[in-house]
Structure 1
Amino acid sequence: MDKSLNTLEHHFHLPRIRQVGGSRPFHWLRMGWSDMRDNLGASLSYGVFFAALGYLILAYASDRPYLFTAAISGFFLVGPIAAAGLYEISRRHDAGERASLGASLRGLMRHGDSLMYFGLFLAIVLLSWERLSAILFALFYQGNVPELSHFAREVFLSGEYTHFVVAYMVVGGALAALVFALSAISIPMLMDRDVDAISAAMTSARAVGMNLGAMAVWAALIVALVAIGFATMMIGMAVLLPLLGHATWHAYRDLVE
């Protein structure tokens, strides 16, 4: 592992990565909460917008279970790019600059090219996952698809579709792990430095590889908080998305010298 990470550093001229303890993600959350509290209006503007957008997407997919499950899991794939404006708020806040909504949007425009390339990559992954989800349903799920209100009980909890559940979890988990490794800190890095998307993604992969314990805790916290957001019909996401976005900025600052 160390040899491959050193090879990445040599070919992409990657910055040095710090190693942190497993409890460090809780510090990132505390710092993220502080950023959100100090920039409440701008932060909640992003949270409310994406929570409303997420609710509309889930409502559209509510009578299509394979789309509904793909939409929920797809949120984890596109979340890093959706929070780009929040990273800019934290960056400006750290620098003692005005961190308004307008200022964050101008920051997005300034880094538009790099964000576009990374966003295109995430969009391709999301579309691929939607198609893979449909294929898995066609291959492993036999019979009529139940209504969404009974879907989890009849499909995931009944024990009658073990092959489908295992295949769905393995394929979805592999995609999620890949995207997490490449995007854990790459978007904040693009907002902060004059680097290309590939170097940012490789830096993120290296940071994850050198801090597996801390990043596993961080991934678990993200899943748990996003699950709370979905459980509250996206209402909680209006606060949880800004919290996670600001915390991700501090993860980047902590891990990358």
Structure 2
Amino acid sequence: MSDASEGHVAPSRVPEIREMALSDIVAALRLGLRDFLRKPMMGLFFANVCVMGGWIIYLLLFSFHMEWLAIPLTFGFPLIGPFMAVGIYEVSRRLEAGQREWRRNEIFGVIWRQRARQLPLMSWVIIVYYLFWSFFAHMLFALFMGPSFLTNVTSSYAYLLQPEGLRMLLVGTAFGAVFAFVLFALTVVSLPLLLEKELDFVTAMITSVAVVKRNPVVMLAWAAVIAGLTFAGMAPFLFGLYLVLPVLGHATWHIYRRALIPLD
């Protein structure tokens, strides 16, 4: 990746796609944990941003008696996680290149320079996607439960055990899984690819989807690992995310490196 912030940079060639195996996931997680243990501060910083952001969201919801929104926000919260991990990708990139010493501001400098590249456009894709999911979850709730429930759900959550509530949870979970996997396919390698290479965000997303199509079993397994570890980390008041998010962020870089063959 070029750190040059001025002047024209020639576009990179699109990398070729590798055949992956399930063992790549195990190796990526192992290397992700290793990177986190070597340079934990940056991973903890970005995890803290997510955890504190989650606490603020839920405090606002409960303060304004809108607890019912906690369900779609809980399932939608991990959708914005990939963009938060850009700094973690940069740490793994440097460790992979043999660099061991740098100042923390250098990582923030790399992130800051992305404002003139393609990553901000990808962030808008993720944000719009997340907002659409929140709107869809709200619409689904009203469709199954009726608008009257929106005024009194704060007193009891027994409505979720009613037939309408159970159907809503079933349909919402199914649609949520589809939403999450589509976003996963668009971003699984596109974000680290845009960090390292000079490509437009559309090409990066197409390449990411192509990786998923080439390795469907491995990518489904990787998506399941991300979802399982993330929700497990969210369970104890989000505290588990201080370990889960950095390790998954570093591991995502290593999945990217195993998914693509660089040509330049």
Q: TM-score, normalised by structure 2?
A: 0.85
Query: What is the alpha-carbon distance in structure 2 between the residues aligned to residue 99 and residue 53 of structure 1?
Result: 27
Q: Could you tell me which runs of 5 or more consecutive residues in structure 1 were left unpaired when the two chains were aligned.
A: 1-11
**Matched residue type, 1:105:** F
Q: Distance in 1 between matches of 2:53 and 2:47?
A: 10
Match of 1:75 in 2: 77
| 1:128 corresponding residue in structure 2 | 132
Q: What is the CA deviation profile of residues 3-57 of structure 1, one whole-angstrom value per residue up to 9, with x for unaligned ones?
A: xxxxxxxxx9732111111232121110000000110122212222221112211
Which residue is 1:56 aligned to? 56
In structure 2, what residue type is equivalent to 1:52? M
Cα RMSD after superposing both structures: 2.1
Equivalent positions of 1:1-257 (< 5 A) are 14-62=14-62, 63-97=65-99, 98-112=101-115, 113-142=117-146, 144=149, 146-147=153-154, 151=157, 154-155=159-160, 159-257=163-261
Distance 1:137 1:103, change over 3 A: same
Contact 1:58 1:68 (C-alpha < 8 Å) held by counterparts = yes
* TM-score when normalising by structure 1: 0.87
- Aligned partners of 2:68 and 2:153 also within 8 Å: no
Mapped partners of 1:119, 1:133: distance in 2: 21
Q: 1:128 to 1:189 in 2, by over 3 A?
A: same
Distance 1:239 1:136, change over 3 A: same
Displacement of 1:90 in angstroms is 0.7
**Bigger radius of gyration, 1 or 2?**
2
The superposition leaves residues 48-68 of structure 1 with CA deviations (integer Å, 9 ceiling, x where unpaired) of 222111221122234424421
Gaps of 5+ in 2: 1-11
Task: Tell me, in whole angstroms, the C-alpha distance in 1 between the residues paired with 2:216 and 2:231.
Answer: 22
Superposed displacement of residue 183, structure 1: 0.4
Would the alpha carbon gap of residues 225 and 99 (structure 1) be closer, same or farther in structure 2, given more than 3 Å must change?
farther
Query: What letter corresponds to residue 77 of structure 1 in structure 2?
Result: L
- Give me the identity figure in percent: 29
8 A Cα contact 2:42 2:87, kept in partner:
no
2:3 is matched with: none
Matched residue, 2:8: none
How far apart are residue 76 of structure 1 and its match?
2.3
Whole-angstrom CA distance in 1 between matches of 2:163 and 2:22: 35
Separation in 2, partners of 1:172, 1:229? 19
Distance 1:64 1:163 in 2: 21
Secondary structure of 1:233 counterpart: coil
Which whole-Å CA distance do the structure 1 matches of 2:29 and 2:138 have between them? 35
Instruction: Report the equivalent of 1:9.
Output: none
The one-letter amino acid of 2:82's match is P
Measure, in 2, the Cα distance between the counterparts of 1:154 and 1:244: 35
